[in-house]
Chains A and B, each alone.
Chain A
Amino acid sequence: MISRAVGVTEGAGGPLLEVEGLRTWFPFGSRWTTRRGWVRAVDGVDLTVSRGEVLGLVGESGSGKTTLGRSVLRLIEPAEGRVALDGTDILALGQRRLRPLRRRMQIVFQDPYASLSPRLQIRRILGEPLLLYRIVAKSEIEAAVAELLRAVGLEPHFMWRYPHEMSGGQRQRIAIARALASRPDLLVADEAVSALDVSVQAQVLRILLELQRSRGIGMLFISHDLSVVERIADRVAVMYLGRIVEEAPTDDVIASPLHPYTQALLSAVPDTDPKRRRERIRLRGELPSQTEPIAGCPFASRCPEVQDVCRRDPPPALEAKRLGHLAACHFR
């Protein structure tokens, strides 16, 4: 019934996804306005995701997480840098040669009310990628859709429903099933469980994690919620103003964060258990403008440990401070 093998297919060896020096800038203003320039949403990001690995990407709103996720899939055109899927630089490809690669990289968006067409039955929503990428023959669509539905914990009869006949959690499972229909190697999950109630969030998170593991998918899991990221990610990258300021195995980041920003972020997470509550680090000061190049460290204006050098010189590039634990800070 299924005509293509699951999981690792092409080019084993190097990392599945390799991002180098990625910059995505958005123009603002027009020729009629006096203020014109660029918003530096993603400003020099390096990262890798291996097969079967989950990289959590955390940061506050406006840090550039979503822009980074979309740039990696080339849903937004980055200004410069390299994004390689199994060694192939997808930024260098024309649309025609990019299209076959799209099958291998998929995305789940935050809002399951906006990301599913209200006019299509679930059968069509899930059947379309199957047909488009010739995953199964037309005669086998129904069986394949049923199989996808079962994989996300829904009964096959859901294929006859429209999105409005389903709850938020059920819709998000459909969004996951749709992303997995084309058997991707790389999945970007952009706040994929953030809109869900906590009781439902746990179910959807478990399904996502099970499928990622059983299919050996490399996943970029974008979330503002550190406690969710902790449950799913193997490694965590912390983003601030378009840059990654810290990256390490999940347990290391949570237990012994290095960068002052990560420390402040972790200390602000409320906890239901008073025994686990942390001493809170307060951030004063405002975010610098993202339309001007920043002279020193991007975090200098809010950093509780700021020194003169931080305002003057950019911090060293992301470097290993401990084994596998990277941070970009003058004093760590």
Chain B
Amino acid sequence: MLLRVEDLAATFFLDEGELRAVDGVTFEIGEGETVALVGESGCGKTIVALSILDLVPSPGRIVGGRILFRGTDLRRVTPETLRRVRGGEIGMVFQEPGAALNPVFPIGRQICEVLELHRGMTRHEADGEAIRVLGGVGIPDPEKRAKAYSFELSGGMRQRAVIAIATCTRPRLLIADEPTTALDVTVQADILDLLRDLQEDYRMATLLITHDLGVVAETADRTLVMYTGKLFETGPTDRIFDDPYHPYTNGLLRAVPSLGSGRGEPLRGIPGSVPDLLRLPAGCTFHPRCELADAECAVRFPPTRTMGPARECACYKATAT
């Protein structure tokens, strides 16, 4: 197993109280596998990603659990080891490519820095490799673009540059947090193709964080559905999309407008909205929005149950079919 996250918990210590952003999250990612982490905004998806590399911003911190990367608990390693893993064996791509790039250095230089640091290249070697890497992520005329600054590139080209920086070390795992959300749909499709190609070439695993279920359906082997800091349902993507167990997953899928499904067909949302994490409802945190909820659901959070091959779900009402 490449990555195993075990009972991860992260809390933000705010003036108003303790906000549990990630609450007992357990999942695995195999070599070369694409796993999608989905859910609405404010459900803790990004904090899971940041926790893996110990980048949770203050006043938040990891308060429990293990992060086993190739068998080593990243919470127990020295800062030097963590620095080697971060940006080396595990790469990261964020939503806003503009914010991820340094505006005062040319793109090529930012790749060289990573190559020198993580692959021990000389300045000269790195210069050549940076151009090769830029060409590899589909940036036309890489010799010229290596000298360009981020503001001289379009959004799609910027995200390609960020992906070049994140993957130039041939990481085993790429964490991509909403990598295409800020991009146009035609550009999004190109970037997803690029990620898929890189993954095949390097046998790289991907943790894809997104709220876009269409993107998930087209890219992920397995899907993790997250709500209020907890995993509600996990399993193979096609099986979850065909036949979701959790009412929340079902609600999300019903709410996605699908192109070509006909006009006028009413879209069904989920009543209410994501609760404030400081004032979570008792019992199952989804029960006030759930059409299947009864008295039991308001008392205790349901245990995670195995529902079938490789499928788990935390709901009293879910029944294996």
Contact = CB atoms under 8 A, between A and B. Distances in A.
Interface of A: 60-61, 167-170, 197-203, 205-206, 224-228, 230-231, 233, 250-251, 254-255, 264-266, 268-274, 276-277, 280, 282-283, 286-287
A167 B273 contact: yes
Contacts of B267: 201-202, 205-206, 231
Chain B contact patch, size range: 35 or more
B279 interface: no
B252 interface: yes
Contacts of A201: 255, 267, 269
A268 B257 contact: no
B47 to A, nearest CB: 17
B263 A270 contact: no
Given A198-B211, A273-B217, A227 B259 contact: yes
Nearest to A287: B154
B184 interface: yes
Given A199-B251, A206-B267, A273 B258 contact: yes
Nearest to A195: B41
Contacts of A270: 188-189, 192, 212, 214-215, 217-218
Contact of A203 (B187, B216, B263, B271): B271
B186 A283 contact: yes
B77 interface: no
B184 A60 contact: yes
A198 B241 contact: no
Contacts of A170: 273
Given A198-B252, A251-B263, A274-B238, A268 B269 contact: no
Contacts of B271: 203
B218 A271 contact: yes
A82 B150 CA distance: 39
Main secondary structure of the interface of A (DSSP, over half): helix
Contacts of B217: 270-274
B14 to A, nearest CB: 16
Contacts of A272: 213-214, 216-217, 241, 253, 256, 258
Contact of A276 (B41, B212, B259): B259
Nearest to A63: B184
Contact of A266 (B238, B255, B259): B259
Contacts of B259: 226-227, 230, 254, 266, 269, 271, 276
Given A167-B273, A254-B260, A270-B212, A197 B41 contact: yes
Nearest to B214: A270
11 contacts: A60-B184, A197-B40, A197-B211, A199-B251, A225-B257, A227-B256, A231-B264, A265-B186, A269-B185, A270-B189, A272-B216
Given A202-B269, A231-B264, A268-B188, 9 more contacts: A167-B273, A169-B273, A198-B213, A203-B269, A227-B259, A231-B257, A251-B262, A266-B259, A276-B259
Given A200-B273, A231-B263, A61 B214 contact: no
Interface in B174-198: 184-190, 192
Looking at B192, B262, B269, which has the most chain A CB atoms within 10 Å of its CB?
A: B269
Contacts of A225: 257
